[in-house]
Amino acid sequence: MEIALIFTGALIFFSLIFNALFEKTRVPNVLFLLFVGLLIGPVFNLVSPEDLGRLGKIFTTITLIVILYESGTRLKFEGIGTAIGPASLLTIFNFLVPVAVGMAVGYFGLGLELLPSAFLGACVGSISTPIILPMLRQLKLGKKAENVVFLECALSDIVCLIGALALLDAMDSGSFSISDTIKHMAISLLFATSIGLAVGYFWTNIRRYVVTKLKNSMFTSFALAFMLYGFCELLGVNGGMAVLSFGFILGNINDLSDILEKRSSLGKDFIKRKNPMLLMEDERNFYSEIAFIFKTFFFVYIGMSIRLSESEHIVMGILFISLMFIVRIPSIALFCRKGYSPRDRRIMSILNPKGLVSAVLASMPLQLAVTEQEIRTGEVIQNIGYASVMFSIIIFSLLIFLVEKFDKKDNSDRTQNEGNLQS
């Protein structure tokens, strides 16, 4: 017990230090946390995800809810209209390309059938929300680029989950319908967003009475976010998108009022009559602190969960994820042309780490396997999927470091040249 308490405190303490050092070193504290998880998990076998049982799955879900809610409160109305198009195109492109690459690698390189090969690619079709969103503030992207990344994170999880699960069903049944999959995605996205916005608007109307009447009321919005996520998952729609929309409306109710005023005075009067309450600054800071704590333990858990057994699969995972990073470069150049600085495009081109969604999906075929052939296929997918997750985070961390160093040197050279011209 004493050792566990010391370890927990030291982990948070050093995570704070590495997070602060990011401003100078540009090395994300995510890499530090991942290696801590690897050391206490697969390397020294001090603890494993199985030791946590169902608690591990609950913890990862809570982490996702907390980060999505906190990120939603920081997403601003003003850039949504211009960001939704590029974000949607990036999401679809960066899902379909991994599926195509997975089919080629799996079928020709690993001897898998087409559907399992496509599923292998679909597993890495999303970008990790818990890795990217907490880092956006430190990366200091332009507002338009930041909004595109926000939306891409939210959309990619939905597309990846629905597309991969549809392929998994097809592996079991032997049939696959593209139209049914697209329809399911659209319904899940629209329904979840509508529920989140409606609940968020309702909550802004009564929050003033809760905050002023109750002590320790900051957790009430979190509690409602948890209930909203669970309710949407029970309905079969994406709970993460609902939570993001819920946080978004809480952080933007005043902006919504101003937008409606420009179009119709009745719209603003309708909102003002309800007397909604915008989030206060101390609430935003509190949510940010909670998200940081959960993120810290989440990445240690990811490191513990990585399982690498065969060197061939490790090499294949490295090659596979390297292709994903290479392919993302032309997608940013194609869909993000105007309104982005060269630095924005460079950073966006490397925002391709994989996380919990990819790891969970990669483990599912083996969990559902019955026959010897299914078990072999499941092991291949899981090993390559886990390797892709780990090395995507390592490659992402190294590229962030290199790009930031390049930008710093470029700015220094530009400043020096301007000084020489003036002199």
CB-CB neighbours of 92 under 10 Å: 18
Maximum mean pLDDT: which of 112-121, 133-142, 163-172, 249-258: 112-121
Rg value, the chain, Cα: 22
Task: Report the distance separating Cα 105 and Cα 163, nearest Å.
Answer: 19
pLDDT digits (tens, 9 = 90+) for 179-235: 776 777 677 778 888 999 999 888 887 877 776 677 767 788 888 999 999 999 898
- pLDDT average, residue stretch 167-179: 73
Mean of per-residue pLDDT scores for the chain: 80
pLDDT score recorded for residue 110? 84
Number of H helices, E strands in the chain: 19, 0
CB-CB neighbours of 409 under 10 Å: 10
Whether 117 shows a pLDDT value over 60: the answer reads yes
Q: Which domains does the chain possess?
A: 33-422 (1.20.1530.20)
Task: Report the distance separating Cα 91 and Cα 332, nearest Å.
Answer: 11
Task: Report the distance separating Cα 120 and Cα 323, nearest Å.
Answer: 14
pLDDT score recorded for residue 72? 81
Taking CA 27 as the corner, what is the angle to CA 24 and CA 29, rounded to the nearest 5 degrees?
110
Burial zone of 133 (CB within 10 Å; 0-12 exposed, 13-18 middle, 19+ buried): buried
Closest Cα to residue 168, out of 214, 108, 122, 129? 122
Both tokens of 218, joined, read 């900051």
DSSP state of 105: I
Question: Can you give the pTM of this predicted structure?
Answer: 0.73
Task: Report the distance separating Cα 135 and Cα 355, nearest Å.
Answer: 14
User: What is the enclosing helix (H) or strand (E) of 365?
Assistant: helix 356-368
pLDDT digits (tens, 9 = 90+) for 316-330: 889 889 988 998 999
